[in-house]
Structure 1
Amino acid sequence: MIIRLAAADEWDRIWPLWHRVVATGTTYMWDPATDSDAARALWMAGEVFVAVDGDDVVGTALLKPNQPGLGDHIANAGFMVDPSRAGEGIGRRLATEVLAHARAAGYTGMQFNAVISTNTGAVALWKSLGFEIVATIPGGFRHPALGRVPVHIMYRDL
């Protein structure tokens, strides 16, 4: 598996994975019915990484400043792994690459604004990589099966 920055013209390879993940309505705030054009505008708005295995995009990440101007020293990122490849360490490898890239780019910390509490695999991964839950918003996410569930804001220094 190779992890690298995505080319601007690779959206058509990223979109099927993005759609599979978001369409479940269980791990991201975005509308599960988001179409490709709207999704591209959301995801391709920063530095985008892909984890490629052969010809397949098996993971992707977005890295960008969490806030503009005086808050742009704190990174924000989003990560997606092909659900059929869960448990293979793709998310951890992608995360360590993106964290190292963010540090090298001059970011001093990374903040996740909305880690869905029921996404226990993601919460455990981020904790194992040194992130802390700094706040929890009760009922901040409308889970399709569980109703309103908490959302965590997670942070770590770089």
Structure 2
Amino acid sequence: MTIEIRRASIVDWPAVWPLWQAIVSAQETYMYDPFTSAEQAQRIWFPDPPAETYVAVDTGSVVGTYLLKPNAVGPGAHIANAGFMVAPATRGQGVGRQLAEHCLRRATELKYVAMQFNAVVSTNTGAIALWKSLGFSIVGTVPQAYHHRTNGLVDIHIMHRTL
């Protein structure tokens, strides 16, 4: 698999939407309403600057995406936040790691001083292992903050890494 990671534009949305919809509707990793419309999801995943959206493309198909943005506004805007989605068919093939490494480089280029993930679902062990391997630490846990479709109420972790 040869992955090209590039800045997304609105013309990529039709390829991103099925991926976004599948992941969100699974109710295993994201705190978005599983009934979010395509129009609402587009506004979430393709927001105005300073946010940046990227896609991972393999032989013309979008196999992953990430959204990089400030974690907060004003005095908190120096901390980055990001969300990642990988097509289920390509999980375990390094797409997530490539997206993560690209995102960390881009966040550094944009002069963010750290990256914070606000809601890593505790049952998402693959993501937790990836983030830990890239230097992230769990800095907090919110008990039973996520209603997982099959596991019921599970914890979420706040993860952080200095850039």
TM-score (norm 2): 0.95
Q: Separation in 2 of the partners of 1:8 and 1:105?
A: 22
Deviations 1:71-100 (A, max 9, x none): 100000000000111100000001000100
Aligned counterpart in structure 1 of residue 54 of structure 2, from 49, 53, 61: 49
Q: Separation in 2 of the partners of 1:138 and 1:21?
A: 22
Q: Who is 2:68 aligned against?
A: 63
Gaps of 5+ in 2: none
Indicate the SS of the match to 1:130: coil
Q: Who is 1:146 aligned against?
A: 151
Aligned counterpart in structure 1 of residue 111 of structure 2, from 95, 100, 106: 106
Q: Who is 1:13 aligned against?
A: 15
Displacement of 1:8 in angstroms is: 2.5
Q: Which amino acid aligns with 2:12?
A: E
Q: Does 1:123 align with 2:128?
A: yes
Q: Separation in 2 of the partners of 1:10 and 1:90?
A: 18
Aligned counterpart in structure 1 of residue 96 of structure 2, from 72, 91, 95: 91
RMSD (Å) for aligned C-alpha atoms: 0.7
Indicate the SS of the match to 1:28: coil
Displacement of 1:9 in angstroms is: 2.4
Indicate the SS of the match to 1:80: strand
Q: Which amino acid aligns with 2:21?
A: H
Q: Separation in 2 of the partners of 1:16 and 1:146?
A: 24
Q: Separation in 1 of the partners of 2:30 and 2:91?
A: 16
Deviations 1:45-75 (A, max 9, x none): 2200000001110000000000001110000
Q: Which amino acid aligns with 1:61?
A: Y
Displacement of 1:33 in angstroms is: 1.4
Q: Which amino acid aligns with 1:117?
A: S
Gaps of 5+ in 1: none
Percentage identity across aligned positions? 53
TM-score (norm 1): 0.98
Q: Separation in 2 of the partners of 1:63 and 1:8?
A: 16
- Equivalent pairs counted in the alignment come to 158
